[in-house]
Every structure is written in C-alpha cells, then in structure tokens.
C-alpha cells in the first residue's frame, strides 16, 4: 500500500509536532485553507447537481438524514453504558460522531481520484445534510426534549455555522452557474485542491498530535472507542449506501461520512448548547484519535471492505 | 490633568463566547468595549490559538462602579458561564476627559 | 440575464451577513486578496503599455484627469444644495465618487471576459490616474485653497497610498518586463484572478451588508444619491469615452470608473485631510449602496447604455 | 522587589492614526511604547477589524508624571485628534529595575 | 463584589523567547497566563512585527505576592535574560471569585 | 542585462519602503509565502533524489558540510581582526554567513530557469545540509567548546528550526512519493513558485530597506564586508563545486549557497545560543546589505565568474 502524498503531509505534521518543532500555520492561513476546501467541495457538488433533477434526490437525502440520526443513537449507549461517561458527555461525543469531518471527506476524494474510481458527484450534498441531525440528536439525548433549550440559538449556531454555510454557498453557486464555472474559477479553487488539502493536513497533523497528550488523562476506553466505532459506523454507512444503490466510489464516501467525526462545526455548537459537556473529551476522540485513524488506516480499509461487500 | 476615576473590568474568555457575551453586556448597559485576541493557559487547559476553537479574547470594559457591580452580579448569578473558561478582574483607571 | 459567478459570491456574502452568520475572512487574507488584485490589474495594464508608445497616451491621460476633476464638481452641489449636507461632508462624499473602486473595475473586466468583448488594455493606467484628482478637489471644496492644509502630508497619504502604489508597482513591472512575465507569473497572478475576485467579493458582500444598517441613520437622500449618481456619472464617463474614441469594452470600463466610488484609498486620505467629515456617511454611500448597485445592476446596465449609444 | 512607580498611559484609537500619533508622541519625548491590535465599540460606532479602515490599536506608554502631563496637555489642546475616535486612560504601574 | 487582590505582572519581551520563558515560569509555579501579540519600541529598537524575528509578546500573569517575588528574583538574578529586550511591570488587580 | 521580474519586485519593495509608503504584507501572509517556498524547494529536491541512489551522494554531502565549516572560519578572523568586532559579534556574523538564504537560492533557481540552464536537481539537499554546521562553528568560535553551552537546547533551536524542518518535510515527501506528486500538487506548489517568490521578494525589499537606516550606526566596515565577503565566499563555493564536478548550473547554486547569509534560521538560533551578540549587527549585514547585493548584482555576477572559470 502506498500512501497518498496528502496523507504523508498529515503524518509529517504529526511527527514534527511530537518532536516539539515549533511549527504552526498562522491561524489566518489555517482558516483560509478551510474556507477554500469548503467552498470548493461545495462548488464541485453544486456543478454536479446542476446536471440532474434535484427532485430525484429527495428520497436519498431522507435516507442520509436517517443515517445521521441513527449513528449518534448507536454511539450513545456504548459511551454511556460501556464507557461510563456522564450523560451529557456521552451525548456530546455521540453528536460529534454522528456528524462529519470535511478533512476526512477530502482525503477520501483524493483517494478515489488517485485510484481513478468515480463516484456520485452530488455527495457534497450529503456532507451538508449530515452536519445537522447529529447535533439535534445529541442535545435531545443530553437534555430530553426540554423547554429550557434555546432552540433558536442552537439552530443559529449549528445550521448557520460557518462551515455549513460555506459548503452551502459553494453548492448553490455551483448549481446556479453550472459547468461553466470551471472555466473561470479552476485555477484558484479546483486545480490547487489537493495542494491546499496537503498543507491543511500538515497543520491538522500538528493539531492532532497536540491532542495525543490528553489521551493519558481520558484513558483507554476513549482510545478504543475512537478506533473501533468508526469501523462500525463505516459498516452502517455501507449498508445505507447499498440501500441507496451507490457505486463503489459513492459507497466509500458515505462510509467515510459515517465513520468520521466532526471537529469544527459540532464542537462549537455543542459548546453553546451543552456547556456542561467536557469539550476535551470529544475533541481528543474526534481529532486526536479518529481523524488520524481514518486518514491513515480508515480510508483504505473502508475501501477494501466496500470492494468485498460489493463484490467489485 | 482632569480625569475621571473609573473601573477597568477585564474578561478573558473563549472566543466562541464573543457574540453571546457582548450581547449580554450590551443588555446590561455597556456601550463601549475593546476586544483583543489572546492565547493563554488556565484551569481549563492551554488555549494555543492554533486553530479556530482554541483561542481566547480579552474584553476590556471601562465602567463606573454601578455598572461594574451589575456586571459582576450578572456573571456570578447566571449559570450560563459556569462551564466556560473565564477570568475576570478589576483595576482602577483614570480616564482623560477630552470632548 | 445570467449573473456572473463572481457576482453570485458577492450576493452570497451579502445574504449570509444579513442572516447573521458569523463569517468574515481573516483580515490578513482580505489584505492578501486585495494586494493580489491590485498587482495583477497593474501587471495586466503594464504588459499592454509595453506594446505601445506611452507618449501617445499623454493626451488621453489628460482627458481622464479632467474627468476626475469634473465628477466631484458635479456631485458636490447635488450633495450640498439638494442633500443639505454640511460643506465638509458634501466635499468628502464628492471625493469618494470622483475616485474609483478597484473591486468594481475588476467585476467589469470579468464581465467583458465572460462576454468576449475586448477593451483597450491600458485601462489600468486610467484606474491609477483617477485615484488622485478627486481627493484634491474634495479638499479644495471643503477648505478652499487654504494655507492650513498640510499638502505634503495629504500627498503622502493619497499619492503614496498603498493601493495606488501597488497598482503602480504592477504597472511598472508589467511595462518593464513585458509579455514574457506571463510565462513565469501566470499561475500565481493571472490565472487565479477570477477566483481571487470571487473570494474577495464574498467578503465585500459581508462588509457591504454590515453597512446597510446605517442607512436608516442617514436617510433616504443618501440611498437615492448612491443609486442615481453612479448612473449619471456613467453617462459622463461615456461622453468622455466617446471623446477619446474608446471601443465598446473600453467605454464600459471608463463608465465603471466614473460610476464607482472609492472605499479604500479615499476614506483613508480624507480621514487625515478632512477629519471633521463624518466617515460613516461616505462609507455607507460608497460601500453600502453604490458598490452593490454597481456590481449587481450597474455593470450590465452601463453595458446596455454603451451598446445603444455606440450603436453597436 | 526594587521597582519604580510610573504611569501607564493607554491610548485606544483608529489604526489609521498610528503613524501620525507615534510621530507626535516621539516629538513629545516618548522613547518606548507597545502597540496591540484591537477591535471595539465606542461613541463612534463599532470597529470590527473586518477590513482595513476599521481597526483600532491600543498604544501602551510607560511614562513618568512629567511626560504624562505633557502628553495629556498635547492631546487635550491640539484640535488635531478632536474628530477621531480616541480613548485615553491612566493607571499606576511599578516597573522592575533590571539593568 | 467579592474579590481577591492579586498582582498583575506584565512581561513584554521578544517572541523568540516565548517557549523558554513560559517553561521557566511554569517551573517557578505559574499555572495560568495570557499571551498577546504586540509590537513596540524600546531601548533595543523597533519591533515592527514585519517579519518573524521582529515581534513582541505581552505576557500577563495574575499571581500572589509570594509568586511575584519569586519571579522577580528569578528574572533579576538569572543572567539568562540580560541580553534580551524585556520590560516587566506590576499593578494591582482584584480578581472576581466565580466558582 | 535584463532583470528577472522577481528581482524587480524586490527592488520595488525596496524603493517604496524608502519612499515611506506604509506597505507591509500581513505577517501571516509573509509566513505563508515562506512556508510555500520552503516546502516547494524541498519537494523539488526530493523528487530528484528519488531518481538516484542516495548512497552516491554521501561523499558530496560530506564535501558540502566541509564548506559549511570552512566559510565561517574564513569570515571570523576578517571580522575579529580587521573589523575589530567583539569576539561574540564576529562569531555571530560568521555563523550567519556560513549558513544560507533560501530567498537568494530561489532567485538563483529562477535565474537558471530564465536562462534555460539545467542544474543538479538535488541541490536542495545541500541547502538543508548547509543550514547547520555554521551555527555550531559560530558557537564554538564565541565560547570555545565550553561546558556551559546547552547543546541540547541549541540543537533543538537549530536542527529543529521551522525552516529546516519544512525543507526536510518537502525533501522527504518528494523522495517518498516521487515524480507522481507533480500531478496532484503542481497547481498549488510548483506552478505558482515564481509568483510566490515575487510577492515574497516585494516584502523582503521592504524589510531590507528598513535595515538600511541602521547602516549609519554600524559603519562602513560592515557595508564593505557585506558586499566583498559574499564575492569571496562565492569563489570558495566555485572551488568546492569544481571539486564535486558540478555542472554550470549546479556550480552557480553552490556559489549562491556559499555567498548568501541566513536571516531566518541562524538569527533565531544565535539569539538563544549567544544572547550577548548584537542581533542588529548580523541582521543589518545579512538582510540589509548582502541579500539585496546578491539578489540584484551577485547572482548574475557569480554566473559570469562560473562561466569564465568553467570555460563554458
Ligand atoms: N493566573 C492567570 N494569569 C493570567 N491569565 C490567566 C490566569 N489564569 C487564567 N488566565 C487566562 O484566563 C483564561 C481562562 O482561564 P481558566 O478559566 O482558568 O481556564 C486562560 O486561558 C488564560 O488566558
Ligand atoms: N467604555 C469603554 N471601555 C473600553 N473600551 C472603550 C470604551 N469606550 C471606547 N472604547 C474603545 O475606544 C475606542 C474609541 O472610542 P470612541 O472614541 O468612543 O469611539 C472604541 O472603538 C473602543 O475600542
Ligand atoms: N516606555 C515604554 N512603554 C511601553 N512599552 C515599552 C516601553 N519601553 C519598552 N517597552 C516595550 O518593551 C519592549 C522591550 O523593551 P526594551 O527592552 O527597552 O527594548 C519594547 O519593544 C516595547 O514593546
Ligand atoms: Na460520522
Ligand atoms: Na468614480
Ligand atoms: Na553562506
């Protein structure tokens, strides 16, 4: 198995951080790279949407939403009963794993491109769709359907979170402008995509490694959960992909969406909605364990699983 | 030098809270403030400003005694900020009269 | 009428800002994009200048300078007499409208490229030339030719303003290095131009929308002025373009230069030279009204006008 | 702890003014200062640091009494800064002697 | 308002020193600090933050008297920081009790 | 002789800084550009290394290390005896000149590309190798082989300096991924290289010009040293290049490595290891004198010398 160069950048960041090299991207640059990734992924999906009847996708969007509700419901009892976490912490971690990681998704796209495997190109739509239900489920798990919850503020913080909005802006403009957008925006958004991802992953490696120290604090269960749960979730994703009749490439991406955990939109939303939850726990799991696992081991593993399952 | 003695109230907290806390402060009657980006370390760990969710802000409020108490009471009574990392301290400043 | 994708980015920024999404580009990135636009526009103009006798343009530069003096003189009485603004405010707003907006100019260039209309490619020279006379006229209108004015400091702040200098640096290097510069600098400066403009306009949409709230404060006259005056000024621009015998594309760009109002160089210069002027007034007009109007409605409208006038 | 009591003079103003005000301060005899980027809100509205013309700076000056008065008088007498947003306040600090 | 009086110790120094000085401070017993990026001018010239080696940081430490003396003694006794540009000053602050 | 456009950017930055234009790149952007240059140079070298037996280069790496020890030993007596500098200052400046400037190296690469001259493409390996010995020599010159020196911390600060690590990360990934990396990372790293260098040099021109004011303070000897020593060092470089049998292009690059002085890695390392050294002295020399000299005059001059020497 040869590693994709973008994954090497991630590993390099991880290693130099462990070696205590004093490197971090300026935060303005980190934000810039994130913005570029989000808009570009959105644009790509939008352009593809412009080629089909959006109406045809409504059923599939419903199925994907269902998956977004199912995964946190699967994670919660494991965390609460097996992991002995406090209710609010179990709910918060469940919300993170029900949602998705754009960085991991992008690694999946890069993987498919390297292997010349095509995929249903409206997948970014599902990326947007999956950001939200998990947050709602998480809050309900933590609080019940309590009147106390400021749903308006919660909606503001989650639906209108920067990352979701940027994906959506890209999706919409891509859809409205269609294929011709490629011509004018290629050199800035599309062509440098993998390079931008590489630099982004270098920084994410540094950040992920800085979370590793916290593992000692939170114990082995979290480590196990962060590795085993994504694999389970990926299989859930595969079943849903099968239900929707996705291709091999599309199946891999849905598996990745299922297996990945949010470390941007959800932490911010949960911090507002469930302040009593310990943000260190969920971030260590999603960013310090699951993200590196998925990027390095998970993506090719899920691909193998999908190949076997689909008999391709 | 003609000056008025005021209280400088400094709040160091998570950047995530900016919108919500400024909103609350304005409700309490604050009509001037200064915000500075900061990093730091405290009971809730290191805020290294490496990435988005990991930054502090330092809010500086020049207020009179009455408003200072009001904000103080609000912050200590409300449970809202109990679970956030936040450090609040006061000092005395003399504000120059200009206009 | 289909919108140019870059304009969609502007509208998207405008809308998400009104929806109170907490998005802004890091200011370092905003500056970076501005710098890229300014240098690239300069380079483009410079490369074209290198192909002609600069001497031949002196007459035309004089005519353009005249236009830069005429437009603020046209705006001032409208603002002072009809609008009942204070003398210094009327003068300050007039200075903004006499000068130009690089962002609007770039949208015009993108528009022409999308419509495959060619234009006199030394237009960036006029962009540089037009930045300055309006500031001088504005100060004279506000103070008379007073000895008090620190003309040296004023010149420093306006002639040597960052935006003008960057345009000029690009212009000069483009002129000195000529066509061959395309080879080495294409991938960083020229090819990504539209993408950079798109991201820049996303942010400008956010900024413009944040100005809209001030409209209530400043009243209807300012709203009307910010919409009607650009249209008048564009016609002035067309007459000057005719005088200079510009092509359809060149005419559109000169109309845009006439119709657009500065929101970078002039505010900074006027803040130093006329501190008593209310900066909120002129910024709301130029950035909150005229900029969106020009980007969305003005550019295609002026094109229609130019087509009719030139009988093309 | 051997310390010298000094005045900390803090000036919060528009970034646009940086060059001009530092120039004036140096003319008045200031030979050390610290500048921090800031955002804020005051009588002249919100400075959100979204874009270039919209940012504050916080200038911190450690000065003795005489220089503080001199700067104070300059700022209140000159009309130059009347139309700019500016907030000035003083506090007491004890500077450590090192060298 | 229930407050505890503490010392605010502010250290302005070269960004290059951040890692080393934070390390030393933690050894001395500091467990909370705030860091702000700054530019400035002092005896050792202008720090204009134009590029990497040319930036200051302002470290703010809220400490009790004992720790303040300890840090003071360390900084004045060690030769380590003698050749770096560094400015240290103290003021009094009242920290709000929250938890 | 026509100037390379990237050099024009440097000169433009220099001039606008002297004209007191208030321009500087946001520091986040400056860092971003540096990071891009370092990684790209590393990647380029790594890709080439992947095509040859690394073992074959060990001898040459040894020779280059020797050069890195020799040059500061040559500089030190000149500075100490002729220049009458304090021992620690002479040692510090010597360390700067023994090490290298990545910006100058990049200008050399751009020069060779413009002149269509090929070069041994593993040169970036030497760039990495040369960063380090000069620092060690400098410290030994200043302190003797004293027990006081905290060699561990010194190693941390120099070997693991950000710039060296980024070069190395690029080198390693380029080597591991090989030629195929070009495909995916071209649009972000390789193609924009010259444009990134141009913008970087614009800023470096501003920074260099801001050092010029200090020249008065430090006197004529430093000015002379900053111009004459690089020429001497370039000849040393040429002799070593000859020893290694490098081509014309490779010889030029080794001359540039010899002639250039560090202004990033070494200042930071020396600041920690030799705090008593005056950082103004070495920075004024390396950044304010030698860097502009090399970029504008040195590179073409060394090329002429190499051509003559190699009889090409
Ligand atoms: N002793 C201290 N001195 C200065 N700043 C502090 C101190 N303790 C906490 N802080 C700041 O306040 C933030 C929140 O503190 P905490 O709630 O204790 O995590 C930290 O990230 C620091 O920026
Ligand atoms: N009460 C206050 N507390 C803290 N900072 C203030 C206050 N009032 C004004 N400021 C700061 O001073 C700047 C200028 O104030 P002003 O001249 O009132 O607009 C504002 O943008 C704030 O950053
Ligand atoms: N009088 C002062 N007032 C405020 N800040 C100062 C003063 N003197 C020095 N500083 C700050 O402390 C840093 C180091 O000072 P120095 O060691 O004197 O070069 C400077 O770069 C300034 O940021
Ligand atoms: Na998931
Ligand atoms: Na105009
Ligand atoms: Na050298």
Quick one: pLDDT at residue F255? Answer: 98
At E45 the pLDDT is: 75
Query: What number is the average pLDDT over the span F154-172?
Result: 83
Chain E residues in contact with B63 (beta carbon < 8 A): none
The one-character DSSP state at C79 is I
User: Cα E52 vs. chain centroid, distance in angstroms?
Assistant: 20
For residue E29, give the ligand nearest its CA.
1
Q: Give the pLDDT confidence score for residue C143 in this predicted structure.
A: 83
pLDDT number for residue A263: 83
A258, A240 Cβ separation under 8 angstroms: yes
On the question of pLDDT at F241 being above 90, the answer is yes
From F135's Cα to the closest Cα of chain C, the distance in A is: 33
pLDDT band at B51 (very low <50, low <70, confident <90, very high): low
Q: Is the model's pLDDT at F147 over the cut of 80?
A: no
Q: What is the pLDDT of residue C306?
A: 97
What are the beta bridge partners of residue D42? Answer: D45
Among A113-117, A157-161, A249-253, E22-26, which stretch is predicted with the lowest mean pLDDT?
A157-161
Q: How confident is the model at residue F148, as a pLDDT? A: 67
Helix (H) / strand (E) element for B3: namely: strand B3-14
| Listed ranges A160-174, C61-75, C133-147, D66-80; the one with the highest mean pLDDT | C61-75
Please say if the pLDDT value at position F1 is more than 60.
Answer: no
Tokens 């103070």 appear where? C143
Chain B residues lying within 8 Å of D58, measured CB to CB = 34, 36
Decide whether any atom of ligand 3 lies within 6 Å of the E30 Cβ: no
The total number of residues written for chain B in this structure = 99
Predicted local confidence at residue B49, as pLDDT: 58
SS3 at position C21: coil
Higher pLDDT pick, A1 / C86: C86
Q: How confident is the model at residue E46 (pLDDT cuts 50, 70, 90)?
A: confident
Please report the pLDDT score of residue F89 as a whole number. Answer: 95
Express each pLDDT in B77-99 by its tens digit. 877 787 888 899 999 999 987 65
8 A C-beta contact, residue A285 and residue B33: no
pLDDT band at E44 (very low <50, low <70, confident <90, very high): confident
List D93's β-bridge partners, or say none. Answer: D6
Report the complex ipTM.
0.91
Percent of chain B with pLDDT over 90: 57
C-alpha–C-alpha distance, residues C218 and F20, integer Å: 37
For atom 7 of ligand 2, the residue with the nearest CA is: B32
Q: Which residue from A244, A298, A202 is spatially nearest to A67, judged by alpha carbons?
A: A244
What's the mean per-residue pLDDT of chain B?
88
For residue A254, what pLDDT band results from cuts at 50, 70 and 90? very high
Share of chain F above pLDDT 70, in %: 97
DSSP assignment string, chain F:
-PPPHHHHHHHHHHHHHHTT------HHHHHHHHHHHHHHHHHHHHHHHTTS-GGGGHHHHHHHHHHHHHHHHHHHHIIIIIS---HHHHHHHHHHHHS--HHHHHHHHHHHHHTT----TTHHHHHHHHHTHHHHHHHHHHH-S-SSS-HHHHHHHHHT-HHHHHHHHHHHHHHHHGGGHHHHHIIIIITTHHHHHHHHHHHHHHHHHHHHTTHHHH-HHHHHHHHHHHHHHHHHHHHHHHHHT--HHHHHHHHHHHH---SSHHHHHHHHH-TTS-HHHHHIIIIIIIHHHIIIIIHHHHHHHHHHHHT-
Asked if C114 and A172 come within 8 Å (Cβ–Cβ), the reply is no
Nearest alpha carbon to residue F25 among C266, E82, C166:
C166
Q: Read off the pLDDT of residues A282-294 as tens digits, 9 standing for 90 and up.
A: 988 998 999 999 9
Read off the pTM. Answer: 0.92
Over residues F92-144, the pLDDT tens digits come to: 999 999 999 999 999 999 999 999 999 998 899 899 889 888 988 998 998 87
Alpha-carbon distance of A50 to A122, in angstroms, equals 9
**Three-state SS for C155?**
helix
Domain ranges of chain D: 3-94
Q: Which helix (H) or strand (E) holds C103?
A: helix C102-114
- The residues, any chain, with a CB within 8 Å of residue B72's CB and separated by 6 or more, are B88, E1, E96
Residues in chain A: 312
Instruction: Give residue D48's pLDDT band: very low, low, confident or very high (50, 70, 90).
Output: low
**Residue D58 scores a pLDDT above 70:** yes
Query: What whole-number distance in Å separates Cα of residue D30 and Cα of residue B20?
Result: 39
Neighbours of F159 (CB within 10 A): 18
**Three-point CA angle B19, B22, B24, nearest 5°:** 110
Q: How far apart are CA A183 and CA E21, in angstroms?
A: 52
Closest ligand 3 atom to E85 CA:
17
CA dist F137 → A133, A206, F273 (Å): 61, 32, 12
Query: Which chain A residue lies closest to C199 (C-alpha atoms)?
Result: A36
How far is the C-alpha of A142 from the C-alpha of A159, rounded, in Å? 19
For residue A307 the two structure tokens come to: 């190949």
Q: Flag whether pLDDT at E2 surpasses 90.
A: no
φ and ψ at residue C245, rounded to 5 degrees? 65, 35
The atom of ligand 3 lying closest to the CA of E47 is 21
Instruction: Kindly indicate the confidence band of residue E49, based on its pLDDT and cuts at 50, 70 and 90.
Output: low
Confidence of residue A11 (pLDDT cuts 50, 70, 90): very high
Among the listed ranges C226-230, E19-23, F298-302, which one has the minimum average pLDDT value?
E19-23
Nearest to B50 among A27, A34, A271 (CB): A27
List chain C residues with pLDDT less than 50: none
Burial of D24 (0-12, 13-18, 19+ CB in 10 A): middle
E60 lines ligand 1 (CB under 6 A): yes
Question: Torsion angle, CA of F157/F158/F159/F164, rounded to 10 degrees?
Answer: 110
CB F297 within 8 A of CB F107: no
> Residue D50: pLDDT band by 50, 70, 90 thresholds?
low
Sign of CA dihedral C70, C76, C81, C87: negative
Q: Domain B3-94 adopts which CATH fold?
A: Alpha-Beta Plaits (3.30.70)
pLDDT of E53 reads 62
* Banded model confidence at residue A266, pLDDT cuts 50, 70, 90: confident
Q: What is the percent of chain A with per-residue pLDDT over 90, rounded to a whole number?
A: 63
Q: Is the pLDDT of residue A71 over 80?
A: yes
For the stretch A193-219, pLDDT in tens is 999 999 999 999 998 898 887 778 788
Chains in contact with C, counting 3 or more C-beta pairs less than 8 Å apart as contact: A, D, F
Which two three-digit tokens encode residue F300? 């073409």
pLDDT the model gives residue E19: 87
- Contact with chain B for residue A2, Cβ under 8 A: no
**Is the CATH number 3.30.70.20 carried by domain C8-15+26-310?**
no
> When comparing pLDDT for E49 and D2, which is higher?
D2
* Confidence grade of residue F3 (pLDDT, cut at 50, 70, 90): confident
The DSSP element (H or E) to which C245 belongs, if any, is none
Residue range F52-107, pLDDT digits in tens? 887 888 899 999 999 999 999 999 999 999 999 999 999 999 999 999 999 999 99
Distance CA A287, CA C210 (A): 35
């Amino acid at each position: 198995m040869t590693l994709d160069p973008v994954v090497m950048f991630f590993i390099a960041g991880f290693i130099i951080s462990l070696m205590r090299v004093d490197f971090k991207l300026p935060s303005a640059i980190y934000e810039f790279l994130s913005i570029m990734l989000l808009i570009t992924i959105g644009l790509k999906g939008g352009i593809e949407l412009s080629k089909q009847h959006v109406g045809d996708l409504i059923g599939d969007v419903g199925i994907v939403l269902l998956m977004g509700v199912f995964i946190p419901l699967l994670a919660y009892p494991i965390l609460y009963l097996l992991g002995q976490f406090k209710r609010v912490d179990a709910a918060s971690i469940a919300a993170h794993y029900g949602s998705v990681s754009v960085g991991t998704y992008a690694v999946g796209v890069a993987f498919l491109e390297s292997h010349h495997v095509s995929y249903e190109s409206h997948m970014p739509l599902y990326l947007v769709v999956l950001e939200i239900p998990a947050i709602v489920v998480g809050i309900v798990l933590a609080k019940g359907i309590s009147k106390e919850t400021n749903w308006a503020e919660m909606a503001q913080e989650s639906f209108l979170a920067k990352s979701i909005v940027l994906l959506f802006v890209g999706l919409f403009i891509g859809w409205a402008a269609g294929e011709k957008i490629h011509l004018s925006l290629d050199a800035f958004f599309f062509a440098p995509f993998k390079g931008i991802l590489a630099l982004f992953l270098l920084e994410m490696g540094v950040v992920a490694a800085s979370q590793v120290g916290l593992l000692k604090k939170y114990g082995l269960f979290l480590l196990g959960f962060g590795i085993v749960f994504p694999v389970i979730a990926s299989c859930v994703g595969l079943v849903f992909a099968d239900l929707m009749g996705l291709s091999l490439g599309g199946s891999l991406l849905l598996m990745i969406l299922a297996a990945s955990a949010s470390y941007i939109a959800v932490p911010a939303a949960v911090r507002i909605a469930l302040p009593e939850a310990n943000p260190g726990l969920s971030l260590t799991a999603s960013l310090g364990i699951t993200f590196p696992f998925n990027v390095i081991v998970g993506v090719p593993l899920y691909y193998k699983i999908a190949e076997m399952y689909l008999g391709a | 030098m003609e000056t008025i003695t005021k209280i400088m109230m400094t709040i160091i907290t998570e950047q995530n809270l900016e919108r919500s806390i400024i909103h609350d402060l304005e409700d309490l009657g604050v009509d001037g403030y200064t915000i500075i980006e900061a990093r730091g370390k405290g009971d809730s760990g290191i805020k290294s400003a490496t990435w988005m969710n990991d930054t502090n802000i330092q809010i500086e409020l020049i207020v009179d005694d009455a408003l200072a108490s009001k904000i103080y009471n609000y912050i200590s009574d409300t449970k809202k900020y109990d679970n956030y990392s936040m450090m609040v301290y006061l000092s005395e400043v003399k504000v120059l009269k200009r206009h």
